[in-house]
A and B are shown apart, each in its own frame.
Chain A
């Protein structure tokens, strides 16, 4: 368990109109997990549970070796948390926030905080209420990073940022990744952001984890096969085909278990493989969600 920073097992949480159902997740120390889901999929609820801010109805949650929510105070000493709906104190300056946090965190790095302020073009003496949304996100990120946390939990931090601010935030996150002992959980509905910085990907939809794997494995095993069928030819059936699109003699198969052998198998069945397309994380996510929902409806 020592090399696991985040461990959720069978976590359930019921609300009148939404349920988190049997969430199990493991995040190894030093890894960066992209947590992807549509709005309302359960990302924030899961993150709040692992932060101890929402108590699970059942299941086990351990963060940095601490049992949650009971031991949340000790766990949060090593966690940097930024969420889309988190605001700093408007009447206070960024410098005030730094002074407020410095005695709380033993590993607080003032030099790093000041360097980040320069890099993010933030003026420490400026009041938070005078900052733009992008500057506020950067300020919150600065305050989380300067704690030198062992675990960084970012809940949709790039939502609402303009492209320049988003790039700056992502660049800083990528710089942070140089520290191999730091674990990051990064939730977003923007797959492009997640794809850039994550090495593990987890998809969540309607309160359930629908897939979780290494990013490279994800990108390797998902493919779109564009076929040309002979007249009266049937669409070949393979395990792992999650969607059949296209029309008539030109079907498009989306598979999550692609193997080169599938091409020869198609040829043997009289079908011609016209193209094998790689898929972006967004396409994989959408195909994954659609296929699960279709299966759920069937």
Chain B
């Protein structure tokens, strides 16, 4: 693996998404302020903003860096560089994660910080962590689908199903007894159910990214 070439390609993707990254950081900070100081309605609205910003930055950067490369016909230029397709795939997956994860971490940390600062909602801690990781799962699924299919239709479907799945998973998680029971309490409750759900999510991430690498390695036509 030529790590310096992979790093160069990641830097390129960062460069072209720098405005979107800065905008989403600013948007995330504003959302957290709304959550912190907006009272009860602000809490809900701020969280909706936060989730929306993460969904938008995920879709924008993945679509722009992966699908955009093909649609703008810059893929031929990228693939004329001294890289293999596996290195190209690595750069796209790692690059997309390196854009999303720091933003996601910053926003999740801000969100958890606000929960920790307000004892009245301590019970939401486990639920928030699980739902935050669910957003990471959706992001990984989107990266994999866009990379493997290189199709606008499939990518749009992945975005829609990712957003729908957040609501669906949220509903299901909120009804799991190990989560539901302490959710509206004033103490942080981390149950075995929360651990299992988190492990399942990380296993899904590993499976999705592993499948993406596997399917990419079987491709025979790259242009």
- Shortest beta-carbon distance, B42 to chain A, in Å? 36
Q: A100-B8, A103-B8 are in contact. Are A51 and B87 (CB under 8 A)?
A: no
Q: At the interface, yes or no: B152 with Cβ under 8 Å from chain A?
A: no
Cβ of A145 to closest chain B Cβ, rounded Å: 13
Q: Are B220 and A74 in contact (CB under 8 A)?
A: no
For residue A142, give the distance in angstroms from its CB to the closest CB of chain B.
13
A73–B82 touching, CB < 8 Å: yes
The chain B residue with its CB closest to the CB of A79 is B80
Tell me the residues in window 30-53 of chain A with beta carbons closer than 8 Å to chain B beta carbons: 48, 51-53
Residues of chain B within 8 A (CB-CB) of A83 are 76
Complex contact B72–A87 (CB within 8 A)? yes
B9-45 Cβ-contact flags toward A at 8 Å (1 or 0): 0001001100000000000000000000000000000
A215 at the interface (CB under 8 A from B): no
Convert A86-111 into 0s and 1s, putting 1 for each residue whose CB lies closer than 8 angstroms to a CB of B. Answer: 11111110000000110110000000
Enumerate chain B residues within 8 angstroms of A100, measured Cβ to Cβ: 8, 12
Q: Which of B47-92 contact A (CB under 8 A)?
A: 72-74, 76-77, 79-84, 87
Taken together as a complex, chains A and B put the C-alpha atoms of A101 and B5 apart, in Å, by 10
Q: Which residues of B contact A86 (CB under 8 A)?
A: 73-74, 76-77, 80
CB neighbours (8 Å) of A79 from chain B are 80
Q: Given A88, A89, A103, A140, which contacts B16 in the complex, CB threshold below 8 Å? A: A89
Does chain A have a CB within 8 A of B222?
Answer: yes
Cα A52 to Cα B85 with chains together (Å): 9
CB-contact partner of B82 in A87, A92, A104, A144, under 8 A: A104
Question: Complex formed: what's the CA distance from A50 to B71 in Å?
Answer: 23
Which residue of chain A has its CB nearest to the CB of B88? A73
A194 shortest CB reach to chain B, Å: 21
Q: Given A76-B82, A104-B8, A104-B82, A88–B77 Cβ distance below 8 Å?
A: yes
Contact A104 B223 (CB under 8 A): no
Cβ of A73 and Cβ of B8 under 8 Å apart?
A: no
Query: Quick check: is A85 within 8 A (CB to CB) of the other chain?
Result: yes
Contact in complex: B16, A91 (CB < 8 Å)? yes
Contact of A74 among B16, B77, B80, B82 (CB under 8 A): B82
Q: Which listed residue (A51, A54, A72, A101) contacts B221, Cβ 8 A?
A: A54
User: Are B84 and A87 in contact, with the CB atoms below 8 A?
Assistant: no
Closest to B11 in A: A100
Once A76-B83, A89-B16 are accepted as A-B contacts, the answer to whether A54 and B8 lie under 8 Å apart by CB is no
Q: Considering the chains assembled together, what is the distance between the CA atoms of A85 and B77 in angstroms? A: 9
Q: Does A77 contact B (CB under 8 A)?
A: yes
Bound CA span A196–B30, Å? 63
Which of A53, A88, A92, A144 lies in contact with B222, CB distance below 8 A?
A: A53
> In the complex the two chains form, is A53's CB within 8 Å of B16's CB?
no
Do B220 and A72 have beta carbons less than 8 Å apart? no
**Known A86-B73, A87-B73; contact A54-B223, beta-carbon cutoff 8 A:** yes
Nearest to A153 among chain B residues (CB) is B80
Q: Give the chain A neighbours of B74 by CB distance below 8 A.
A: 86-89
Provide the residues of chain A in CB contact with B80, threshold 8 Å: 51, 76, 79, 81, 86, 144
Residue A55 is within 8 A (CB to CB) of chain B in the complex = yes
19 A-B contact pairs sorted by A residue (CB < 8 Å)? A51-B80, A53-B76, A54-B223, A55-B220, A55-B221, A73-B82, A73-B87, A77-B82, A81-B76, A85-B73, A86-B73, A86-B76, A88-B74, A88-B77, A89-B72, A89-B74, A92-B16, A100-B8, A101-B81
Residue numbers of A with Cβ under 8 A of B are 48, 51-55, 72-77, 79, 81, 83, 85-92, 100-101, 103-104, 140, 144
